[in-house]
Structure 1
């Protein structure tokens, strides 16, 4: 369970950091992926959709860290989001012929793929630990009828 919490904390910190950076430095963050923000509306969209979404995801993961019953949901969220982004990036690079030409794209791809694998392993270990052990043979119960009235005569 400690490994699962580590994976969630790592991803929460990354998403929170990226979300905050998109809020305070939208131009620089957009330029990392080759986007150009030309209008004030595009700046606010980048802040909301890139910054806000990532920050909201980070908040959910921090909440999931504190509640044992949400650990699994948090890990599933990390796997679904990061694996989808990884596979989408690879598919688009392959189908469009653009490739992965920037360091930011390559590092992002490596990080997303790695954290996806970490979250899958954490889910596996979490599920493995949740399996119920084999039930022990039940102890024989003492029926109430065996209690004798004579045991209570002196009271």
Structure 2
């Protein structure tokens, strides 16, 4: 479970960092991707979509870190988003014959790596949840229904 939490933490930090950078430095961040923000509306769009969207994803992953039942959904989110972006970049690179800038290549490598790590973490969590659990035997002479009812007697 620690491995899954580490994967989520790394991705949350990346998304939070990128989101904050898009909020405070939208021109510079857009220029890294070859985009030119020429109107105030395009600046706010970059801040809201690239900054706010990534920051919101980071917040969800931070919530998922704290709640055991959100670990799997958090990892699935990472796999779906990052693997889709990776495959999209590869498809565009293949169809256009160029992957683009060095920043795009490093982003591609990171997204592919974090996708694989999240898949491994999901696989590990699935195997761990299928492991047999030692259950204490029922006390002799007490029916299972009586045990279940005893749980509610104090309420």
TM-score of Structure 1 vs Structure 2, range by shorter chain: 0.7 to 0.9
In the alignment, structure 2 segments of 5+ residues that lack a partner are: 144-155
Structure whose alpha-carbon radius of gyration is higher: 1
**C-alpha separation in 1, matches of 2:77 and 2:123:** 14
Deviation >6 Å, runs of 4+: 134-137
Over the aligned positions, Cα root-mean-square deviation in angstroms equals: 1.9
- How far apart, CA to CA, are the structure 2 residues paired with 1:52 and 1:136? 46
Give unpaired runs (5+ residues) of structure 1: 145-155
Supply the distance in 1 between the matched residues of 2:133 and 2:68 (Cα, whole angstroms): 23
- Residues 140 and 60 (structure 1 numbering): CA distance in 2 closer, same or farther, change over 3 Å? closer
Please give the TM-score of this superposition, normalised by the length of structure 2: 0.86
Aligned pairs, number: 143
Shift in Å at residue 101 of structure 1? Answer: 3.2
Aligned equivalent of 2:41: 41
- Counterpart of 1:55 in structure 2 is 55
Does the CA-based 8 Å contact 2:93-2:100 persist in structure 1?
Answer: no
TM-score after normalising by structure 1? 0.86
Mapping of 1:96-111 within 5 angstroms?
96-97=96-97, 99-111=98-110
